[in-house]
Structures are given as structure tokens and as C-alpha cells.
């Protein structure tokens, strides 16, 4: 038996090396980081999606918008052109989940503060209360960096439509005046205006995943 192995020593060495290479290749293939999914209305909790688009299976993007931020500046889709951003819905007088959500958004802001590719966008679900002055007070109190994070107010119907037909993260209260019940959800939006992730904005673990997914998403543009 020993003589047999000595006779085919070179063969077994080559076989071992080839086997290692093949295993390494398969390992690399299996561990290639997959791109983030693109979220479509038909795959999201129906309570968060307007009934007119619940059937939609593809090509969903964020609609154009025209809103006003904490500095009285007009914020449109062009403000976020070529950017990855995180969006949520809140109101400044909320005493339940909003403070936690805002703290988590601030945490994201801290992480992306020097990253020109990433921004934040928070929409008020009580625009009649959250005036520019009110948003400014809130922004100062919560440490909002104006260059990274816009808190916006505007027409109630427009915000409702954005929440239910674009970002897909807000419930309706079924009132006749476009009533909104905001959730704790954060939406990750890519440079093509597509939803690439939805996260629990009051869960530190979920926001950890969001921060990692921002890095994954950036790699798609490299």
C-alpha cells in the first residue's frame, strides 16, 4: 500500500491542490453578497399600501414631491437626485414611538455624516400642526444636521399619497381628510427611487441591519 502511494505521490498532491481550488471557488460563489431586493406594493403588508396599487408587481418608484423643510426651503425629488436616503413619517408632538424613531434617525445621521451619497427625510403626518417654525424648533432640539436631514411639511393629501402610494409605510385612519396613522417603519430608498428595505425604526437591531444595508447598497453603484 505504501509503495502504491509513493508511486502516485505526484498525482495525489495535484489532486489535493485542485480540490482546494475547487472548494475555494464554490465557497466564494456561495458567499457572494446578493443585491438587496426591490420592494413592490404586492409584497408589502396591505394595510400600509393604498388599495389602488396593492396589485402592483414591478416598476414601483417614489413619486415626485414638493414639500417645505425646517428652514422654509422647498424640497423636491431633485434634492435627493443621485442619493441613497432613509425616509420615515412622524410628528413633532408625538410622545410615544416618535422620540425613539428620531433618536435612531439621529444615530443614522451620525453614521453617514461624512458620506455625500446618503441623506435622511422625515415627513410630518400632522402638517397643519408642524409648521416650518415648529419643525425648526424640533430640528434644533434633536440635533438635526440641515445638510443631511430634512424634516418636511406640506399639503396633507400629498404627504398621505407619498406615505401610502410611494413609501408604503403608513396606515390610514379611514377619515375623509386623509388621516394617517404613522408606523415605526423606516424605508431605504436607492438612487433610482426604489424601495430597497423596510426596517423597524424603534429597534436598534433593525437599524443596525439598515446601516449594513446602506453599505451593501452603495456597493451596487461602485
Phi and psi at 188, nearest 5°, equal: -95, 120
Closest-CA residue to 138 (of 201, 76, 80, 90): 90
Domain 41-219: what homologous superfamily? Glutaredoxin (3.40.30.10)
Does 75 have pLDDT greater than 60?
yes
Please report the pLDDT score of residue 10 as a whole number: 55
113-146 tens-digit pLDDT: 999 999 999 999 999 999 999 999 999 999 999 9
Please report the pLDDT score of residue 175 as a whole number: 85
- What's the chain's Rg over C-alpha atoms? 24
Indicate the pLDDT class of residue 3, thresholds 50, 70 and 90. Answer: low
Alpha-carbon gap, residue 28 to 206, rounded angstroms: 27
Please report the pLDDT score of residue 23 as a whole number: 41
Does 8 have pLDDT greater than 60?
no
- Whether residue 182 contacts residue 90, with contact meaning beta carbons closer than 8 Å, is answered with yes
Helix 98-112 and helix 204-219: axis angle, to 10°?
A: 40
Closest-CA residue to 65 (of 161, 146, 134): 161
Indicate the pLDDT class of residue 30, thresholds 50, 70 and 90. Answer: very low
Does 27 have pLDDT greater than 60?
no
Sequence ranges of the domains in the chain: 1-32, 41-219
Please report the pLDDT score of residue 26 as a whole number: 47
Amino acid at each position: 500500500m505504501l509503495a502504491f502511494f509513493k508511486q502516485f505521490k505526484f498525482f495525489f498532491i495535484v489532486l489535493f491542490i485542485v480540490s482546494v481550488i475547487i472548494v475555494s471557488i464554490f465557497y466564494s460563489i456561495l458567499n457572494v453578497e446578493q443585491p438587496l431586493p426591490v420592494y413592490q406594493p404586492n409584497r408589502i403588508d396591505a394595510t400600509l399600501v393604498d388599495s389602488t396599487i396593492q396589485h402592483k408587481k414591478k416598476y414601483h418608484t417614489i413619486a415626485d414631491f414638493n414639500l417645505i423643510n425646517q428652514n422654509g426651503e422647498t424640497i423636491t425629488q431633485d434634492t435627493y437626485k443621485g442619493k441613497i436616503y432613509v425616509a420615515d413619517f412622524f410628528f413633532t408632538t408625538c410622545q410615544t414611538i416618535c422620540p425613539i424613531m428620531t433618536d435612531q434617525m439621529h444615530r443614522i445621521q451620525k453614521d453617514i455624516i461624512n458620506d455625500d451619497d446618503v441623506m435622511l427625510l422625515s415627513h410630518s403626518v400632522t402638517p397643519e400642526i408642524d409648521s416650518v417654525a415648529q419643525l425648526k424648533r424640533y430640528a434644533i432640539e434633536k440635533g438635526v444636521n440641515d445638510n443631511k436631514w430634512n424634516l418636511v411639511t406640506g399639503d396633507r393629501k400629498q404627504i398621505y399619497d407619498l406615505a401610502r402610494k410611494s413609501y408604503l409605510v403608513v396606515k390610514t385612519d379611514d377619515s375623509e381628510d386623509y388621516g394617517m396613522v404613522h408606523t415605526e417603519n423606516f424605508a431605504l430608498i436607492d438612487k433610482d427611487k426604489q424601495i430597497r428595505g423596510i426596517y423597524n425604526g424603534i429597534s436598534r437591531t433593525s437599524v443596525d441591519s439598515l446601516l449594513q444595508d446602506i453599505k451593501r447598497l452603495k456597493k451596487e453603484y461602485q
